[in-house]
């Protein structure tokens, strides 16, 4: 028996194609059953996330399975196989096992060391097990992968420090507010970067969301997506009195907020702290705002500087993480060889 993995990810495939290749949760039982039936494969797990689609298979023999798996994926998603042939990678053990352990450890992620992938590996394993697609080899394989991911996160600092603008925004906001549940986020503009920061902050359990935009028609869809309220820019100051966290991401070529305006707002707020993130280029918030007491202002350069420093620290941990992966790989291969 051989363990193989056929996959594509953010390095090999643009998001437009990854979207077409992704499996919805309700499709997984059908897909797992079809793979096992059509290719005579005893064990199979499908890992499908926004950044990767991977088929882990236990192969009774090596006989053109890579090509047949590629054809299966194309057929299942009704795509032309000719457009996919150079997008896939194909690994056999030990490389396939090493790859899975590195995936679970966050070493193959777009954001190095991100934690979400470990939960996604665990969920993919659980879904395949529920469908009867996991036997003794893959039970041991995926349990070891999950253990490897946990060990990497507990014994190294690979997951420390946010590395994206939106995640840095959360990291900085936590320096001001320990608990987000009673806080209000106000976003100025309805752009993609603002939405990403808003999503990261709301994932922490923020109480309410306000979306201010030059036109309400543009603000309302974003506000609706986050169960918030759209407000026109003409009502910006009352909204700022209410808000605790402000994200500015508009295309305006001038300051939407001046020092004098924020000073007036802080008086009405009775000095209650306010956290402002200006990710607009050019900046929308007057830098002099930062001079005011209980006002915490960061711009895109501040966030990128922090994210870059965090990336460097994570890169320093890769060698330690890889050593853990190799130890677990050697132990796993020894165990399955002894079990044969």
Identify whether the C-beta of residue 53 lies closer than 8 Å to the C-beta of residue 7.
yes
The tens digit of pLDDT for each residue in 128-180 reads 999 999 999 999 999 999 999 999 999 999 988 767 777 787 888 888 888 88
Cis geometry, peptide bond prior to residue 173 (ω within 30 degrees of 0): no
Mean pLDDT of 285-314: 88
Q: How far apart are the first and last CA of the chain?
A: 10
Model confidence at 32, pLDDT cuts 50, 70, 90, reads: very high
Distance CA(102)–CA(137), nearest Å, equals 18
Is residue 321 among the annotated active site residues?
no
Model confidence at 318, pLDDT cuts 50, 70, 90, reads: very high
Residues of the chain with pLDDT > 70, as a percent, come to 99
DSSP 124-185: HHHHHHHTT---HHHHHHHHHHHHHHHHHHHHS-TT-S--SHHHHHHHHHHHH-S--TT-EE
Mean pLDDT of 289-296: 94
DSSP 317: T
What global pTM score does this model have?
A: 0.70
pLDDT value at residue 135: 96
The tens digit of pLDDT for each residue in 2-14 reads 999 999 998 888 8
Distance CA(263)–CA(271), nearest Å, equals 10
The tens digit of pLDDT for each residue in 267-287 reads 999 989 999 998 887 788 999
Catalytic residue among 44, 50, 131, 321: 50
In the chain, the domains with their CATH numbers are: 2-159+317-339 (3.30.460.30), 165-307 (3.40.50.720)
Number of Cα atoms under 13 Å in the Cβ half of residue 54: 27
pLDDT at 340 over 70: no
């Amino acid at each position: 028996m051989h363990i193989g993995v056929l996959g594509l990810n953010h390095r090999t495939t643009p998001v437009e194609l990854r979207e077409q290749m992704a499996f919805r949760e309700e499709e997984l039982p059908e897909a797992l059953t079809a793979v096992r039936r059509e290719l005579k494969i005893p064990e199979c797990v499908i890992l499908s996330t926004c950044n990767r689609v991977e088929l882990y298979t236990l192969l009774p023999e090596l006989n053109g399975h890579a090509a047949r798996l590629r054809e299966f994926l194309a057929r299942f998603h009704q795509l032309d196989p000719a457009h996919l042939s150079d997008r896939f990678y194909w690994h056999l053990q030990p490389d396939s096992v090493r790859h899975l352990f590195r995936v679970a450890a966050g070493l193959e992620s777009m954001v190095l060391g991100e934690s979400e992938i470990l939960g996604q590996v665990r969920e993919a394993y659980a879904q395949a097990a529920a469908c009867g697609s996991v036997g003794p080899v893959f039970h041991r394989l995926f349990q070891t992968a999950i253990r490897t991911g946990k060990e990497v996160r507990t014994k190294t600092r690979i997951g420390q420090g946010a590395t994206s603008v939106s995640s840095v925004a959360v990291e900085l906001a936590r320096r001001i507010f320990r608990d987000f549940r009673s806080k209000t986020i106000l976003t100025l503009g309805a752009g993609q970067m603002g939405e990403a920061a808003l999503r990261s902050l709301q994932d922490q359990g923020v109480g309410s969301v306000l979306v201010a935009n030059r036109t309400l028609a543009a603000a309302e869809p974003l506000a609706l997506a986050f169960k918030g309220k759209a407000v026109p820019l003409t009502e910006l100051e009352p909204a700022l009195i209410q808000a605790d966290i402000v994200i500015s991401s508009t295309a305006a070529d001038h300051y939407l907020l001046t020092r004098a305006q924020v000073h007036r707002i802080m008086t009405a707020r009775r000095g209650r702290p306010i956290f402002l993130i200006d990710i607009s280029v050019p900046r929308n918030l007057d830098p002099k705002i930062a001079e005011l007491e209980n006002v915490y202002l960061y711009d895109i350069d501040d966030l990128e500087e922090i994210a870059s420093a965090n990336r460097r620290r994570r890169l320093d941990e890769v060698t330690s993480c890889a050593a853990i992966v190799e130890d677990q790989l050697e132990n796993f291969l020894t165990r399955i060889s002894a079990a044969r």
